[in-house]
Amino acid sequence: MTASSSARHDTLLQLFQAAKVIPVITIERVEDAVPLARALVAGGVRTLEITLRTAPAVDAAKAIIAQVPEAIVGIGTVLTAADLAQSRAIGAKFALSPGATPDLLDAAFNSDLPFVPGIATASELMAALARGFSITKFFPAQQAGGISALRALGGPFPQARFCPTGGIGAANAAEWLAEPNVIAVGGSWLCPLADIKAGNWDKITALAQAATK
Ligand code: 3PG
């Protein structure tokens, strides 16, 4: 690890260990962003992943960064070097990807923005580790073999730490978090699209409270 990759690693480790649960957020209307972030923060969930899956995602992330200072905003679904550069430019604190191309790993290696590549196989994890990324997103966690797959990966790669996402919810988050190499879990269960659409902010605060108690 270089000095800067070790600094990025330490930042991520602290952020994720403090967060424990990270909502994977899809924003369809920019005006929902700030009330949603406030609802999550009110429930004790401060570290957020705003996915680049919708047209208003970047403006939504900017609005949260500007108006909800308690929130720690990360950008998810970062697929290209340009996405990574944009995430840094708008002031995100970290970025995540469902996978990692060689181009994206190169860009992240050369950026000071803490980055979490996605992996689902030993070879993908080896490519991430080779560039100094020992914190990865195990995605899609449940579908790619669940906890037994993660345990199997832990054998040859004891230094790896994971944020599993995909198929994680209120019923199984605690089980994943009990794994010694899991530092946080992510998922969309904390912010259901129907509740965002309906403005059910109190319900989202309650989901966040339940996830962090
Ligand atoms: C992700 O990008 O991390 C996943 O889409 C989240 O998966 P979930 O909707 O099953 O929580």
Q: What is the pLDDT of residues 34-51, one digit of tens each?
A: 999 999 999 999 999 999
Cis ω for the linkage preceding 56 (within 30 of 0): no
Q: Which residues of 179-209 are buried (b: 16+ CB within 10 A; e: fewer)?
A: eebbbbbbbbbbbeeebbeeeebebbbebbe
Task: Specify the pLDDT at position 4.
Answer: 81
Could you say which of 137, 175, 179, 197 is catalytic? 137
In this predicted structure, the answer to whether residue 2 has a pLDDT above a threshold of 80 is no
Question: What is the value of pTM for the model shown?
Answer: 0.96
The β-bridge partners of 115 are 95
Query: What is the predicted pLDDT for the residue at 73?
Result: 98
Q: Quick check: is 49 catalytic?
A: yes
| Contact yes or no for 160/178 (Cβ under 8 A) | no
Average pLDDT rounded to a whole number, residues 17-26: 98
Atom 4 of ligand 1, residue of closest alpha carbon: 166
Residue type, 66: A
* Closest of 183, 195, 191 to residue 211, by C-alpha: 191
Q: Does residue 175 carry a catalytic annotation? A: no
Atom 7 of ligand 1, nearest CA residue: 166
CATH of domain 3-211: 3.20.20.70
- For 50, phi then psi, to 5°, come to -95, 120
Alpha carbon nearest to ligand 1 atom 5, residue: 166
Tens digits of per-residue pLDDT, 130-182? 999 999 999 999 999 999 999 999 999 999 999 999 999 999 999 999 999 99
What's the pLDDT score for residue 159? 95
